[in-house]
Amino acid sequence: MARSIYSVHPAVAYTQAIISNLAAKTGRTLEAWLAHSRKLGPKDLKALQAWLKQEGLGATQAWIVAERALVPDPSHAFLEDTPEGYLAAAEGYVEAMFAGKKAPLKPLYEALLNLGLALGKDVKASPCQTIVPLYRHHVFAQIKPTTQTRIDLGLALGDLPGKGRLIETGGFAKKDRITHRLEVKSSNDLDEKLKGWLAQAYAMDGT
């Protein structure tokens, strides 16, 4: 497999750690919990999560087990839980995001991605199903194809007042990472102001 432009999402290592520690912390491996859940647990996701918590699992442990217990083909369902599987899935996430009527936005996405990655060797892009977050120490930006004609570039800019094209999302008051957004509809929007705000978000995540 060719080297990916993307980096493994931090959630992958987090999930792997929880799975590898299940036996030590609960007395059952993931495989044992899956067998136990399929034999005795309810078949609804939320109900199974609640049942697993009654069986002694924590909330995150219960969520991980319940999702896997209810898939029809458990041997192939969660390849993204491994670094190699995640990177393969990441490429698919991006292709799906920019499929169909959103396909014309793909060049804008690639330009935004390249602007973000060019900020420093410590920048990582880790696609999810609907957004592509950019990380330094934390998420400092995210790229989202919001409509068929517009990408929103989300930025972590703290309490910086919104002005003109820089729109406050309300994220600062809600303690979200992303606090502002810029609408990107054409290459004309990839101007020095956008580059400056993106660089500022990167710099603010420097410590």
Are 133 and 195 in the same domain?
A: yes
Residue 18, in any domain of the structure: yes
> In this structure, are residues 137 and 205 in contact, taking their beta carbons and an 8 Å threshold?
yes
Under DSSP, is residue 149 helix (H, G, I), strand (E, B) or coil? coil
Are 111 and 77 in the same domain?
A: no
pLDDT of residue 149: 97
pLDDT of residue 83: 86
Are 141 and 196 in the same domain?
A: yes
Query: What is the DSSP code (8-state) at residue 75?
Result: T
Are 112 and 186 in the same domain?
A: yes
Q: How far apart are CA 174 and CA 176, in angstroms?
A: 5
Under DSSP, is residue 67 helix (H, G, I), strand (E, B) or coil? helix
Supply 137's token pair: 């120490």
Are 68 and 112 in the same domain?
A: no
pLDDT of residue 13: 83
Structurally, the chain folds into a number of domains equal to 2
Q: Which of 53, 81, 109 is the last residue of a domain?
A: 81
Are 75 and 112 in the same domain?
A: no
Are 155 and 121 in the same domain?
A: yes
Rounded alpha-carbon distances, angstroms, from residue 66 to 23, 94, 111, 185: 16, 27, 39, 40
Residues 6+ apart with CB under 8 A from 75: none
Query: What is the DSSP code (8-state) at residue 74?
Result: T
Are 120 and 192 in the same domain?
A: yes
Q: How far apart are CA 43 and CA 55, in angstroms?
A: 15
Are 110 and 77 in the same domain?
A: no
Q: How far apart are CA 125 and CA 38, in angstroms?
A: 36
Are 20 and 69 in the same domain?
A: yes
Residue 95, in any domain of the structure: no
Residue 67, in any domain of the structure: yes
Q: Which domain holds residue 77?
A: 10-81
Are 36 and 125 in the same domain?
A: no
> In this structure, are residues 138 and 199 in contact, taking their beta carbons and an 8 Å threshold?
no
Residue 94, in any domain of the structure: no
Are 199 and 106 in the same domain?
A: yes
Residue 1, in any domain of the structure: no
- The tens place of each residue's pLDDT in the chain, 207 residues long, gives 457 899 988 888 888 889 999 999 999 999 999 999 999 999 999 999 999 999 999 999 999 999 999 986 655 557 667 888 888 889 899 999 999 999 999 999 999 999 999 999 999 999 999 999 999 999 999 999 999 999 999 999 999 999 999 999 999 999 999 999 999 999 999 999 999 999 999 999 986
Residue 2, in any domain of the structure: no
Residue 190, in any domain of the structure: yes
* Distant-in-sequence contacts of 35-43, Cβ < 8 A, 24+ apart: 37/65, 37/66, 37/69, 38/69, 41/66, 41/69, 43/70
